Structure 1
């Protein structure tokens, strides 16, 4: 076939391809780091807090909640976890100790949310080190919300802290100690408190120059029930700093287990808790 015949065909093919791409551009994701998406999957932290507020816990009532972490790309396990949690009675919420994603991609965070929004209860998160990868920090803030935040539910105050020091090149500002100190010193009317972060202070991904200040702050925090972490993908519980503070590390989704924590205050108004492991 003569080249003069081929040239119009090539032009037609390019034009047709361009028309197809631009006419269907809403179906394409041009960059894996693009975190734009449906409004229903933005500001999820506040939306879940609003859901929680719709079911207030009366003063003096025991709080029962699920603790897990490191969902990453374990989507099949996420679905099984949701099915199991929905069968448990008396739960108020679920907390996820970071690493919602594996590569810091918005699509990963949305895939996890797509499964967790089938829970009968709200879920709340902290940011993990994997959620910082690439454009992940901005994606997390867009999809979930603040990197540090706190809330009171019933008689319990939760303080959620970004402790991913390595992702900030150990700049001496993560975790944000002035903010942490302010939060744990003021219970805002609560009778007990819980602190949750991703990287535990005994881990080398936590800024070891800040670690003494962090652990001392928690040891001095009034009515602290325990500190919750993820990152290590397996369960542990203990007092690693021999200072009276209990640190609990979560199972990752891949372990097909989670923890149910029950919190109350005893006759001396001191926080007490019970822990139950659930396999799914």
Structure 2
């Protein structure tokens, strides 16, 4: 039986729409809270660790040079000049991003930042920030970057990155994971010096107050600790707030168009430079 022309036209449009939907399904983002990521943008910490393991220390000796930046949230346009400046630094081994990679904890925000930072000539490593916890952010961070707490050793330097966003857990007395931190600090096999890294410093109101003392004591008791690095407060500073000889360094946010260049040598010797870009 022949159908009216309008019926054929309607059927054709329906089939064309269905074909377009099927062919472009991989381009659709069904929800901004979707934490899934393509394979190339998943488990980035592991990928960068593998890359670092293949890279000789650029200084070729005891000295290690790395950069620290933080809080890229909302300031994605500043990442291109940041990457350009970092790529001009001589003998740079790696870059640390001190949290708040995203603003709203969206996976696509984290992937945007990775799209910029993967242009770095050296591997980069992140610690989770409080903004990265928003909504499904914690799951997105774990999907895209990896563990919330982890450590690695390179050129005799142990880097220990810890989730210290206590407020995001309702100050439940478990974040930061101080026993885990103590275990990492105590393991000094093949380690000449140590650097602790977090987003929220222990003297900030977003740090679980019930764990401030134990966190500070863990660092004070740690052998070969050089300093603690943090972001969050968007204000550069160097202090020893607990009078225990532990140095706490707060870095710049991406918005401030400055970052820290840190050079380590010996057991606890270091040089700190503020680089504007």
* TM class, shorter-length: over 0.9
The answer for the alignment partner of 2:68 in structure 1 is: 67
1:39 is displaced (CA, Å) by 1.0
Matched, 1:251 2:228: no
The answer for the alignment partner of 2:203 in structure 1 is: 202
The answer for the alignment partner of 2:55 in structure 1 is: 55
Q: What are the equivalent positions in structure 2 for 1:1-280 lying under 5 Å apart?
A: 17-57=17-57, 61-265=62-266, 270-280=267-277
CA distance in structure 2 between the aligned counterparts of 1:232 and 1:13, rounded to whole angstroms: 55
CA distance in structure 2 between the aligned counterparts of 1:56 and 1:9, rounded to whole angstroms: 65
**Structure 1 unaligned spans of 5+:** none
Deviations 1:172-227 (A, max 9, x none): 11001110110111123111100000000001110000110000110111110000
CA distance in structure 1 between the aligned counterparts of 2:9 and 2:177, rounded to whole angstroms: 62
Instruction: Report the 3-state secondary structure (helix = DSSP H, G, I; strand = E; otherwise coil) of the residue aligned with 2:209.
Output: coil
CA distance in structure 2 between the aligned counterparts of 1:264 and 1:127, rounded to whole angstroms: 27
1:56 is displaced (CA, Å) by 3.0
Deviations 1:103-141 (A, max 9, x none): 111110010000101111110010001111111111111
| Contact 1:64-1:90 at 8 Å conserved across structures | yes
Task: Please identify runs of 4+ aligned residues in structure 1 that moved more than 4 A.
Answer: 4-19
CA distance in structure 1 between the aligned counterparts of 2:119 and 2:60, rounded to whole angstroms: 28
Instruction: Report the 3-state secondary structure (helix = DSSP H, G, I; strand = E; otherwise coil) of the residue aligned with 2:255.
Output: helix
| Contact 1:59-1:154 at 8 Å conserved across structures | no
Instruction: Please give the TM-score of this superposition, normalised by the length of structure 2.
Output: 0.93
1:234 is displaced (CA, Å) by 2.1
Instruction: Report the 3-state secondary structure (helix = DSSP H, G, I; strand = E; otherwise coil) of the residue aligned with 2:139.
Output: helix
Deviations 1:48-75 (A, max 9, x none): 1111111133885101000111112312
1:235 is displaced (CA, Å) by 1.1
CA distance in structure 1 between the aligned counterparts of 2:147 and 2:226, rounded to whole angstroms: 24
Paired residues in the alignment total 273
1:33 is displaced (CA, Å) by 1.1
Instruction: Report the 3-state secondary structure (helix = DSSP H, G, I; strand = E; otherwise coil) of the residue aligned with 1:163.
Output: coil
CA distance in structure 2 between the aligned counterparts of 1:6 and 1:200, rounded to whole angstroms: 68
1:156 is displaced (CA, Å) by 0.6
Moved more, 51-60 or 93-102: 51-60
1:22 is displaced (CA, Å) by 3.8
